[in-house]
Structures are given as C-alpha cells and as structure tokens.
Amino acid sequence: APPPRRRTRQTWPPGHMPRRTPWRPARLAWVLMAGGAEVAAGGCIGKLDVVGLRGDVHIQGGGIDVAGGRLTVHHNSGISVVRGCKEDWDPWNFQQFLLLGNVLSYTVDLSRVGCGCNLALYLIQEPALDSSGAPSTGSCDYSPYYCDANHVCGQWCPELDIMEANSRTFAATPHTCAVSDTPQFSSCDRAGKGRNTKDIGGAYGPGPANKIDTSRPFLVNTSFSTWTCHHYVGPEQNDEWC
C-alpha cells in the first residue's frame, strides 16, 4: 500500500516554480448588484473595525452604512477597504490584506437578498497598472484604478471571489490571469474554477431543512493555507502534486 499522505511546506516540482511578481496591494470590495448593475462609488464613508488588522482601515464608495464592525449594504452599492479616509481615490491607498496562514471570518445575513441579487465579497489585485507599471485609471470614472478578471472598466487583474451569494445560492471562485512580460495583465480566466452550493443538495437555502439556513445570519470562514498537498501514488511512489 502507498504511504499515507503527508503535508509539507509550499514547494513545486522542478521547472514549475511560479514566476515572481512585484508586491501589489489587494483591494477588498463589497458589491451588491442586481441584473448586472454597475458598482456605485464615492468618497470616504467611515472607519471599519476589523479584528486582527494592525492599524485602522476605512471604507470608500457609496450606498453602504458602517457602524463599528457592522456593514449595512443597500441595493446597487459598493465599497473598497482603504488605509486612509480620503475623499478622492488614491491608487496606493487600498488596504493590502496579508491572508496567507490566516482565516478571514465574518457573519452575514442574506435573508433579504433574494434571487437575481448578488452580494459579493472579493479580492482584486489593485490598482491596475499600465505596461510601464504606473497606476491606470481605466474607463470607469466612478471607480478609477479598478480591475478584475472580467475586464470591467477595461482592465484585467487576478480576482478571488470569496462570496457571491444570495439566500438561495453561495459561490466562491478564484480567477487567474495569464503571465505577462509587463506589469499590465492582458487576459484572465473569466469563468474561474469555483464551487457552488447549488451542486450540493440540502446544503444551503432558507429554512431549517438546509444545513445552512439562510433565513438566519451565519458564519463564514475562509482559510488561506500556506501548505500544499503532496502524496504518493502507485507502487513506484511517483510524486503527485495537487
């Protein structure tokens, strides 16, 4: 029988070492959309209390109320998490979240978010950069420097959808981008490789018959592990990486 699985520090097979990329801040964006509506944006809304972060963070955008660590999201709204409270968008003011080895945890109430609506929590590699490495404002005046894996605002960048959800379904999807010879991304994986609760019967929905009852608030934990799966398969103990 093959040896049991073992966990090792993050390593890669020969010839598969990922290309190093320069440090880039990640933007944490809350978006509530219906029917593909665009994200609203504006000035600084206020301070957001986030346990585990060093220093204060604020939210910038529009259509959302903040009180301590609680956000109330209204229809067709969106925010970014930023370091300083400014009225204008600053490409270097977006909060970078150091998530490797940590858990992002929050409680969400989706009981009034019905079909056709999408409450989305996601990370993007912002600000968008041009081929010379300078911040690029893109085509959206209401949200300069924005980018994502679907070329919104005319700019590409990696995107991690931690939650795209309503009371009926919950999806989480990472999107990667093609390696570029410049700081500017030229294409990304629009569809991504995600999981959706609609594929798991009885797992999610309103009512006590579901394992996650969305008629009540529930806790979401997203773990960012620094470990990789490394195990042996077959009698020759050939390496399989996953």
Evaluate whether residue 122 is within a structural domain.
Answer: yes
What's the whole-number mean pLDDT along residues 57-74? 92
Evaluate whether residue 41 is within a structural domain.
Answer: yes
Residue 139 sits in a domain of what CATH number? 2.70.100.10
Evaluate whether residue 17 is within a structural domain.
Answer: no
* pLDDT above 60 (res 109): yes
* Residue of 126, 164, 236, 240 marked active site: 164
H-helix or E-strand spanning residue 224: strand 218-224
* Residue of 38, 159, 236, 240 marked active site: 159
Q: How many domains does the chain have?
A: 1
Residue range(s) defining the domain that contains residue 134 = 25-229
Q: Using 50, 70 and 90 to split pLDDT, how confident is the model at 32? A: very low
Evaluate whether residue 208 is within a structural domain.
Answer: yes
**Regarding predicted confidence, which is higher, 142 or 185?**
185
Evaluate whether residue 3 is within a structural domain.
Answer: no
- What pLDDT does residue 78 have? 87
Q: In this structure, what DSSP letter does residue 169 have?
A: -
pLDDT tens sequence across 200-239 = 999 999 999 999 999 999 999 999 887 654 444 444 434 3
Quick check: is 164 catalytic?
yes
Evaluate whether residue 181 is within a structural domain.
Answer: yes
Quick check: is 159 catalytic?
yes
The C-alpha atoms of residue 25 and residue 28 are separated, in whole angstroms, by 10
Q: Which of 97, 101, 100, 102 has the alpha carbon at shortest distance from 124? A: 97
Evaluate whether residue 10 is within a structural domain.
Answer: no
- What pLDDT does residue 204 have? 96
Q: Which of 115, 123, 58, 66 has the alpha carbon at shortest distance from 87? A: 58
Evaluate whether residue 45 is within a structural domain.
Answer: yes
* pLDDT above 60 (res 115): yes
